């Protein structure tokens, strides 16, 4: 025998029977229909050459920075070596 | 909207063909998104994303399946992305405490007043939607597509890129899970 609880559960599970589709707003529909022109406008306003130019500039900027960091490190190392060799030659002279 | 001519026109970027596509599929796609996401604004945003993807990727449509199935697949993937974004936000949100998680996440919080439900079923449907929202992702997708959109099992299998038996099993497990959740809700609220 179906209990009150079973009955409640079954009716709840079937409560979406006869579900009607929700109407789309006209505003959304026109937004959707505008998709092709929006994408085309974007493609037209930003030429491919400009995109490549921007990408090349970023790549150049990164390369220059990497090069600069490497040069700074190298110079520091050289300076340290010079200081050490000066110091040791000074001690050697004293002896 | 399934003929080769219309599809070719879409691939050539015809505005007329795209308008026809919107007239044919926008309601179905919006309703699927609305039923899955259970929020009007999210459904509108995701519907726009879906049709943007349809427009930009139509060249990749090879005609292996029906155009509607291909569009549904994009729709389902976009909804999945949205679920993941939402759960990421929840996971990293500061408002939810660890203590709250275990109990609060299992409670059904009816929130959706679905405009397509007949008046006498509104309250119960709201509870059912809250329970559906808590189902595991694939069960939620398969159950909603079949129960709310009336999509046949065979098409759901193609959309989810799985077998027919997997879809049957997903829907069976979804029903079992829903019954458990509803039983708990009844014990806590209706008795």
Write out pLDDT tens, residues B87-111: 777 776 655 555 545 555 567 777 7
- Which of A9, A16, A22 is nearest residue B34 as measured by Cβ atoms? A22
Task: Tell me the mean pLDDT in the region B10-30.
Answer: 93
Tell me which of A12, A26, A33 to substitute to probe the interface with B (most B C-beta atoms closer than 10 Å).
Answer: A12
Domain boundaries, chain A: 48-95
- Choosing from B67, B95, B123, the residue where a domain stops is B95
Distance between CA atoms of residues A73 and A11, nearest Å: 75
Chain B, 37 to 66: residues with Cβ < 8 Å from chain A are 44, 47-48, 51-52, 55-56
- Identify all chain A residues contacting B183, using CB atoms and an 8 Å cutoff: 5, 9
Q: Domain range holding B118?
A: 96-191
Q: Are B121 and A15 in contact (CB under 8 A)?
A: yes
Closest-CA distance, B31 to chain A, in angstroms, reads 6
Residue-wise pLDDT for B52-86, tens only, equals 999 999 999 988 889 999 999 999 999 999 999 88
Give the range among B40-44, B107-111, B176-180, B186-190 with minimum mean pLDDT: B107-111
- Choosing from B95, B117, B138, the residue where a domain stops is B95
Task: Tell me the mean pLDDT in the region A80-92.
Answer: 83
Q: Are B73 and B61 in contact (CB under 8 A)?
A: no
Q: pLDDT band for A95, please (50, 70, 90 cuts).
A: low
**Is residue B146 classed as helix, strand or coil in its secondary structure?**
helix
Q: Which tokens go with A17?
A: 């029977």
Q: CA torsion angle for B94, B96, B99, B105 (degrees, to 10)?
A: -160
Number of structural domains chain B divides into? 2
- Choosing from B71, B95, B119, the residue where a domain stops is B95
Would the CB atoms of B182 and A37 count as touching at under 8 Å? no
CATH number at residue B186: 1.10.10.10
pTM strictly above 0.90: no
Distance between CA atoms of residues B87 and B75, nearest Å: 18
Q: Which tokens go with A61?
A: 């900027």
Distance between CA atoms of residues A80 and A84, nearest Å: 6
């Amino acid at each position: 025998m179906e209990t009150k609880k079973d009955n409640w559960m079954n009716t709840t599970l079937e409560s979406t029977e006869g579900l009607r589709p929700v109407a789309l707003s006209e505003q959304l529909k026109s937004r959707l229909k505008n998709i092709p022109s929006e994408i085309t406008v974007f493609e037209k306003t930003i030429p491919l050459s400009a995109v490549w130019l921007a990408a090349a500039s970023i790549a150049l900027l990164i390369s220059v920075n990497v090069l600069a960091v490497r040069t700074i490190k190298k110079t520091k190392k050289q300076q340290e070596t010079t200081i050490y060799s000066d110091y040791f030659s000074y001690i050697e002279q004293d002896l | 909207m399934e003929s080769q001519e219309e599809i070719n026109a879409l691939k050539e970027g015809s505005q007329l063909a795209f308008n026809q596509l919107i007239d044919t599929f926008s309601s179905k796609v919006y309703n699927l998104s609305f039923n899955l996401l259970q929020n009007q604004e999210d459904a509108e945003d995701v519907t726009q994303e879906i049709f943007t993807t349809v427009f930009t990727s139509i060249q990749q449509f090879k005609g292996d399946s029906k155009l509607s199935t291909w569009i549904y697949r994009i729709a389902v993937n976009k909804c999945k992305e949205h679920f993941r974004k939402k759960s990421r936000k929840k996971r990293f949100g500061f408002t939810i405490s660890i203590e709250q998680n275990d109990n609060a996440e299992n409670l059904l919080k009816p929130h959706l007043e679905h405009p397509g439900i007949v008046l006498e079923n509104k309250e119960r449907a709201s509870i059912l939607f809250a329970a559906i929202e808590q189902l595991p992702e694939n069960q939620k997708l398969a159950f909603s597509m079949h129960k709310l959109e009336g999509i046949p099992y065979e098409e759901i299998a193609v959309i989810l890129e799985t077998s027919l038996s997997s879809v049957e099993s997903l829907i069976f497990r979804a029903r079992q899970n829903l019954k458990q959740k509803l039983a708990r809700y009844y014990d806590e609220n209706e008795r």
